[in-house]
C-alpha cells in the first residue's frame, strides 16, 4: 500500500512538474531563437545605418556609439525608441537613427518587451551598427 501511494505521489508530481519544465525549455529555446534572429536583423541593418551615418558626417566622421532602448510589441513592431547614451554627440544624427529604428520589424515574441543594445560607428573600421557580418 505504501509503495502504491509513493508511486502515485511521484506520478502526480511528474504530471504537475513536466508541463512546467517543458514550458521552461520552450521559453529558453524561444529566447535563444529570438536572440539569433535579432543578431541577424541588426547585421542586415548595417547598410542603412551606414547610409544615414555618411549622409550626416561623410567618410571622415567621428567614431562613437549610440545605445538605443526599444519598446517592442509582441508582433515585433517597435513602438518607442529612446537613445539612452550617445558618445558621438550629434543630436540630429541620434534622432535620424531613432526614427530609422522605429521602422524596424523585430522578431515576434510571446510578450511585449524592452530591449537595449549598442550601435557602434567607426568609419576607420567600416563599422556602422554592430560588428557582425551576415551571409545572404
Distance separating alpha carbons of residues 86 and 108, to the nearest angstrom = 28
> Quick check: 72 and 112 in contact, CB under 8 A?
yes
Tens digits of residue pLDDT in 16-30: 444 544 444 444 444
Tell me the CA distances in angstroms from 120 to 50, 73, 97, 105, one per residue in order.
11, 25, 12, 20
Give the pLDDT score at 40: 85
Cα separation, 29 vs 18, in Å, equals 16
The list of the chain residues with pLDDT below 50 reads 2-18, 20-30, 133-136
Cα-atom radius of gyration of the chain, to the nearest Å?
22
Dihedral sign, CA of 63, 119, 104, 47? positive
**pTM score, two decimals?**
0.73
CATH architecture of 2-129: 2-Layer Sandwich (3.30)
- Cα–Cα distance for residue pair 84/131, rounded to 1 Å: 20
Amino acid at each position: 500500500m505504501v509503495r502504491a501511494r509513493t508511486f502515485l505521489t511521484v506520478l502526480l508530481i511528474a504530471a504537475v512538474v513536466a508541463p512546467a519544465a517543458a514550458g521552461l525549455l520552450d521559453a529558453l529555446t524561444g529566447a535563444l531563437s529570438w536572440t539569433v534572429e535579432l543578431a541577424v536583423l541588426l547585421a542586415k541593418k548595417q547598410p542603412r545605418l551606414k547610409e544615414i551615418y555618411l549622409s550626416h558626417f561623410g567618410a571622415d566622421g567621428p567614431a562613437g556609439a549610440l545605445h538605443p532602448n526599444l519598446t517592442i510589441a509582441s508582433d515585433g513592431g517597435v513602438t518607442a525608441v529612446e537613445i539612452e547614451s550617445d558618445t558621438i554627440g550629434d543630436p540630429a544624427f541620434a534622432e535620424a537613427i531613432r526614427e530609422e529604428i522605429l521602422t524596424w520589424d523585430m522578431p515576434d515574441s510571446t510578450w511585449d518587451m524592452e530591449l537595449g543594445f549598442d550601435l557602434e560607428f567607426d568609419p576607420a573600421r567600416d563599422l556602422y551598427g554592430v560588428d557582425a557580418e551576415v551571409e545572404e
